[in-house]
A and B are shown apart, each in its own frame.
Chain A
Amino acid sequence: MTAQTLVAGRGAGAPLALAEPLSFWGGFDAATGRVTDRHHPDRGACLTGRVVFLAKGRGSSSGSSVLAEAIRLGTAPAAIVLGEADGIVATGALVAAMLYDLHCPVVVLAQSDWGGPMAPRLLRVSADASEAWITPGG
């Protein structure tokens, strides 16, 4: 399955689709990698090392800082698949790449196409500057 690259990188892990949009600021703890938003159905879920499917970003622009801090700390997802492009999520991953040479790929794949790649137990996301691939296997 091909997708659109927002931020290049390679990552592999078990897929995890969040049921609702997530604001990384106020909704995710960079120290633990867990969803903390008390109104979110996936509250308590650990995103660390997962290929996280997120329909869209939400809320505060400080989310960029929290995602970048999580990538620095090693608590971030292995890769992020967005249903639609999001500047805040992209910025967090871009800044972590710029500062720490740590690459969390962020790609866009329409939510209607999530069924196929979600099925396997392990997924690999390989995103270069022009194109991204989501393939089975770790």
Chain B
Amino acid sequence: MTLRLDDAQKAVRDGGRGEAAALAFGLLARYAEAVGADSLLAISGAHIDGCLHHGQVSLDFVRRFVDLDGRVAVPTTLNVGSIDLIHPEHFRGDPALRRDGEALMRAHEALGCLPTFTCAPYQTIFRPRFGEQIAWGESNAIVFANSVIGARTERYGDFIDLACALTGLAPASGLHLDGNRRAGVVFDIAAVPTGWHRDLLAVAVGIVVGRRAGGRIPAIANLPGDLSEADLKALGAAAASSGSVALFHAVGLTPEAPDLETALGGRKGVARETVSAADLADAVDGLSSVPTGTPITAVSLGTPHYSEAEFSTLIGLIAGPPAKVPIYVNTSRDVVDRIEKKGWLSELASGGVSLVVDTCTYLGPVMAESAGPMMTNSGKWAWYAPGNLGIDVAFGSLADCIASARAGRFVRA
């Protein structure tokens, strides 16, 4: 299939926007053909998940564009890297990885990417608006942008996200197009285990929906109407971990689903799945690899990166008895600036909280403790940390995590 190009796109292809943009265009055009697109569309922002080092090719790719004096064509945020550049002394891994990881982050900055180093770019001033066409990498950011905001992005990954940023273009296919955004399966939350906090419920629903949705876009009906943005963020991150969900519709809560009929786009006969209280309890149990009562070495929060609102909740909970194990919180340098201005850093420090910036505790050696079990309220962290870090995980609500930090062992609040 040959792409239909307008004059502006032909100009990019032919070098009118520089050699780097032309090189990126060539890659993007071939990718667009491979995914069956027949044209390209303009984007207004990009988020790059290229700062994690997967080998020499990662650095060679970015440096090719740096050598050609490339500049991104649209505002472009950067995902987490391998290193906390604000607190590099926390890094406890191989010096070669530290050097290459830092070089990769710096090379992206040289292309004009913004040094946000966060997996939650929707918590920065570059948060997209409803209906905006963007090209984002990072699974939790993609599902949040599509679902909670109603912006439009496909699941972009290595190399192609940067090619989109350098050209300001993306393939006109997939979730960029309205007709491809309707739900293909309905999950009915029939019952919820009693006494559950909302954050626990959000993760459990995300895990179940991710596992059972397959390639279909899920609509989720009968969720509590008071789920917060933080809860929807946790739900999406969990669904994008246990499955490959890039868009969900929470009926009555997300912008493309004021009601179920709208989420389905009027389609009849869409498959229905019932989610029972037992399904949700099983999902939560499956995230812990140790039983309650087991001693823990640390608590890790903020996967995806903590927001200002989440810090506000945390500060309310840590006032009281001291924690016996450290509480790590992953967040962005931008959010740290904001909570510093509010005077919250000393309260967090005296509550036993260590901030990790620019990266994430599940990616590499940034915590002093190398052995587990560790506890989290993040479905995504619980899903990936055992494989990445080789540790056992205890999973619970935020309240469970704080109670466990105080007890020094896995307890339910």
Contact = CB atoms under 8 A, between A and B. Distances in A.
Chain A bound to chain B:
yes
B55 A69 contact: yes
Contacts, number: 80
Interface in B136-184: 137, 155-160
B340 interface: no
B27 interface: yes
Contact of B158 (A7, A30, A65, A100): A65
Contact of A94 (B30, B35, B49, B60): B30
Interface of B: 23, 26-27, 30-31, 33-36, 49, 52, 54-58, 60-61, 64, 137, 155-160, 244
A61 B27 contact: no
A65 B56 CA distance: 10
Interface in A65-86: 65-66, 68-69, 72, 85-86
A95 B61 contact: yes
Contacts of A59: 244
A126 interface: no
Contacts of A25: 54
Given A61-B137, A98-B64, A6 B34 contact: yes
A48 interface: no
Given A60-B157, A88-B157, A65 B57 contact: yes
Given A85-B34, A91-B34, 13 more contacts: A25-B54, A60-B157, A62-B52, A62-B158, A65-B158, A65-B159, A69-B54, A85-B35, A87-B34, A90-B34, A95-B61, A98-B23, A98-B26
Contacts of B52: 62
B27 A85 contact: no
B15 to A, nearest CB: 16
Nearest to A64: B158
Given A90-B30, A90-B34, A96 B57 contact: yes
Contact of B35 (A62, A65, A87, A98): A87
Contacts of A60: 157
A22 to B, nearest CB: 15
Q: Which of B30, B31, B33, B34 has the most CB of A within 10 A?
A: B34
Given A65-B159, A85-B36, A95-B27, A30 B60 contact: no
Contacts of B60: 72, 99-100
Contact of B54 (A7, A65, A85): A65
Q: Which of B26, B30, B57, B244 has the most CB of A within 10 A?
A: B57
B27 A91 contact: yes
A65 B36 CA distance: 21
12 contacts: A30-B55, A62-B158, A66-B54, A68-B57, A69-B56, A69-B57, A87-B34, A87-B160, A90-B34, A91-B27, A98-B23, A98-B26
A21 to B, nearest CB: 12
A87 B29 CA distance: 11
Contact of A91 (B23, B31, B58): B31
Interface in A109-135: none
Contacts of B137: 61
B36 A95 contact: no
B54 A95 contact: no
The 6 closest A-B pairs by CB, nearest first: A61-B157, A69-B55, A65-B54, A90-B34, A64-B158, A87-B35
A129 B82 CA distance: 38
A33 to B, nearest CB: 14
B1 to A, nearest CB: 10
Contacts of B244: 59
Given A91-B158, A95-B27, A65 B64 contact: no
B160 A91 contact: yes
Nearest to B52: A62
A59 B139 CA distance: 11
A123 to B, nearest CB: 22
B354 to A, nearest CB: 28
A126 to B, nearest CB: 18
A137 B52 CA distance: 41
A44 B53 CA distance: 24
Contacts of A98: 23, 26-27, 64
Contacts of B64: 98-99
Q: Which of B55, B56, B137 has the most CB of A within 10 A?
A: B55
Interface string A1-20: 00000110000000000000
